[in-house]
Structures are given as C-alpha cells and as structure tokens.
Amino acid sequence: MKSKHLLLTAALTTFSFMYANAQHSLQRMWETEASLPIPESVLYNAQDKLLYVALIDGKAGEKDGKGGIAKVGLDGKIIAKDWITGLHAPKGMGKAGNKLYVADVTDVVEIDIKTSKIIKKHEVEGAKFLNDLTIDSKGNIYVSDSDTHKVHLIKDGKVSTYYEELTRPNGLLAVGSDLLIADSGTLKRLSSDKKITTVADGMDKSTDGIEQVRPGEYIVSSWAGVVYYVSGKGAEKLLDTSADKINAADIGYDAIKKIVYVPTFMKNSVVAYQLK
C-alpha cells in the first residue's frame, strides 16, 4: 500500500503533466446571418462596442467599387450592412482616434468614424495587393502588399517602403516597437532596427490575421480555414474548418472577454468563438 506522501506526489505529478500539456480551444458562440458579401477582415471596437467588417463583395484584387464596411453588434446582429460604400476590395483595418484606416488594393482609405465619410485616400505607389494593416502607439500605419512582398509605412501622411525581404506578407500586428508579420505560414518578428526573427513556422501557407492574447502568445488565422494559438511552444491548432470549405480570414479579437471573431469569406458571415 502506498503512503499518503507517495499518493500526493503521484497526484501532483499527474496534475503537473496535465497542466503542461493542456491545450487551448475555441468554443463557438454565435454566427451572423450569411448576408455579408465576402467578409475579409474584422476589427473589434471596444469604445463603441461593435465590430467593423470589411466586405470585398467581388474579386479580392479588383477595383470595382463594390466593396464596403459593415457594422455588426457584439451579439452577432448586423447593425449597418452598408455603413461605408464605394470601396473596391477592402481588407485589413486599423483605428486611431476617430479615424478608421482600410487597406484597399492600392490605397489606404481614411474614414471619419463620426461622420461616416471617406476623407482621404493614401495612394501607395507601385502597390498591387494591399492586404493587412496595423497602427502602432505613435500613430504610424503599416500595410502589407502580398503581391510585391513589401510592408509600407505611412508616417505623418507620407508613404514609404518599410521592409521588402518577405515571401508573401499578409497579417500585421504592431507590438511595442516591433512588427509581427504573418508571412506564408511563418510568424515573423521585425524589430525597429529591421532585424527579423522567426516566432513560429509550419502553419498553413495562407496565414492571414494576427492578434495578441498576452505578451509572447498570439492567435493566427489562415485563409484556408485554420486558426492557431502561437506561443513559445510553437503553433497549436485551435480550429480547422478547411474540410467544410469555410475560410478563416483576418480575425478580430476582444482581449478582455477573450472572444475571437472569424470572417468566413465565401460563406458571407462572421463567427464568434470563446477562447478557452
């Protein structure tokens, strides 16, 4: 018969093993009506308690004027499907003050949130497929161009090329003075002095959105339908809807309630998941 000390030690060992190998998960909460034409990106707005959803409503790289931005409530109900119209193929978004910035094929579109009007278009010279966008604490705007393999910077209204030695950059996330880049299946970290390191690799080549859960831990989506939890241990698969041909494009995230918002692209909806 084992002593109480041995039993306790065994129990603690088992508990430690289970904790060390615990996996994160996503629990489905709700899904909007399938009436959002090709949602590519979701941006959570904590101040107004709603979601901005970029709608391509056409081909991803075509300037057809069909695209726009919708507003969706945190309960999944569509507030305004046509809040902003007249865009082309809008994708990544970022918010600074009362301005919403949107990557739109070859331009970064600046929208006044209070007036619901487009006030300026920042043309990115030589751009072919602007994709994701992020804004740092100083108000600097970074936007990726997947086709030209570059990341551009808009600082004080001036556009320049920030970095260009990439494979096919999509998702961007400004973290402090660093820039995280989802680059064809690899999450990379670009420092302010332009040194690049690998955070995690081996993910689906269609890596799309990036959100930070806590320092050093991130959620990364891939357009093909896979969502990953990335940490120092690598990339852990949270969700895979690829077999059902449901995409997982540029995700949004509520860091307080730990809710992940996934745009399904061709399925025309946004799905909310609780991160466990």
Please, which residues bridge with residue 200 across strands?
187
Q: Which domain holds residue 116?
A: 24-275
Instruction: Give the pLDDT confidence score for residue 23 in this predicted structure.
Output: 87
Q: How many domains does one find in the chain?
A: 1
What confidence category does residue 2 fall into, taking pLDDT thresholds of 50, 70 and 90? very low
Is residue 178 in a domain?
yes
Is residue 73 in a domain?
yes
What is the SS3 assignment for 63?
coil
Report which DSSP code applies to 20.
H
Residue found under tokens 């075509």: 62
Cα–Cα distance between 276 and 26 in angstroms, integer? 6
Is residue 6 in a domain?
no
pLDDT digit string, tens, across residues 119-176: 999 999 999 999 999 999 999 999 999 999 999 999 999 999 999 999 999 999 999 9
Is residue 49 in a domain?
yes
Give the CA distances from residue 58 to residues 90, 123, 231, 252, 268, in Å, rounded to whole numbers and listed in that order.
10, 21, 35, 22, 12
Cα–Cα distance between 184 and 207 in angstroms, integer? 6
Residue found under tokens 């010279």: 125
Is residue 208 in a domain?
yes
Cα–Cα distance between 262 and 73 in angstroms, integer? 14
**CB half-sphere exposure, 42, CA atoms < 13 A:** 31
Cα–Cα distance between 203 and 265 in angstroms, integer? 19
Is residue 33 in a domain?
yes
What is the SS3 assignment for 151?
strand
Identify the helix (H) or strand (E) that includes residue 75.
none
Average per-residue pLDDT for the chain:
93
pLDDT digit string, tens, across residues 250-263: 999 999 999 999 99
The predicted model scores a pTM of 0.91
Which candidate, 228, 210, 264, 266, places its Cα nearest to that of 72? 264
**What's the CATH code of the domain at 148?**
2.120.10.30
Q: pLDDT: is 55 or 14 the higher one? A: 55
DSSP string, 167-186: SSEEEEEEETTEEEEEETTE
CB 141 within 8 A of CB 152: no
Is residue 233 in a domain?
yes
- Of 21-30, 153-162, 264-273, the range with the lowest mean pLDDT is 21-30
Is residue 15 in a domain?
no
Please, which residues bridge with residue 167 across strands?
none
Please give the distance of CA 20 from its chain centroid, rounded to a whole number: 28
> Taking residues 33-47, what's their average pLDDT?
97
